[in-house]
Amino acid sequence: MSKIHNFSAGPAILPQEVIQNCSDAILNFAGTNLSLIEVSHRSKEFVAVMDEARSLVKKIMKLGDDYEVMYLQGGASMQFVMTAMNLLETKAAYTKTGTWAKNAIKEAQAFGKVDVLGSSEDKNFSYIPKDFVISEDYDYFHCTSNNTISGTQMQTFPVCPTSLVCDMSSDIFSRDLDFSQFDLIYAGAQKNMGPAGTTLVVVKKSILGKVSRHIPTILTYQTHIDKESMFNTPSVFAVYGCLQTLKWIDKQGLSNIEKINTDKANLLYNAIDGNDSFEGTTATEDRSKMNVTFVLKDDTKNAAFLDACAEAKINGIKGHRSVGGFRASMYNALGLESVQALVDVMNKF
* AA identity, residue 309: C
Active site residues: 100, 167, 191
d(CA 309, CA 317): 8
CB 202 within 8 A of CB 181: no
User: What gap in Å lies between CA 250 and CA 115, rounded to an integer?
Assistant: 38
Give the integer Cα–Cα distance in Å for 178 and 175: 10
**Torsion of Cα atoms, 177 then 271 then 279 then 8, to 10°:** -60
Q: Is 233 exposed, middle or buried (0-12, 13-18, 19+ CB in 10 A)?
A: exposed
Alpha helices for 134-219 (secondary structure H): none
Residue 104, H or E segment: helix 99-108
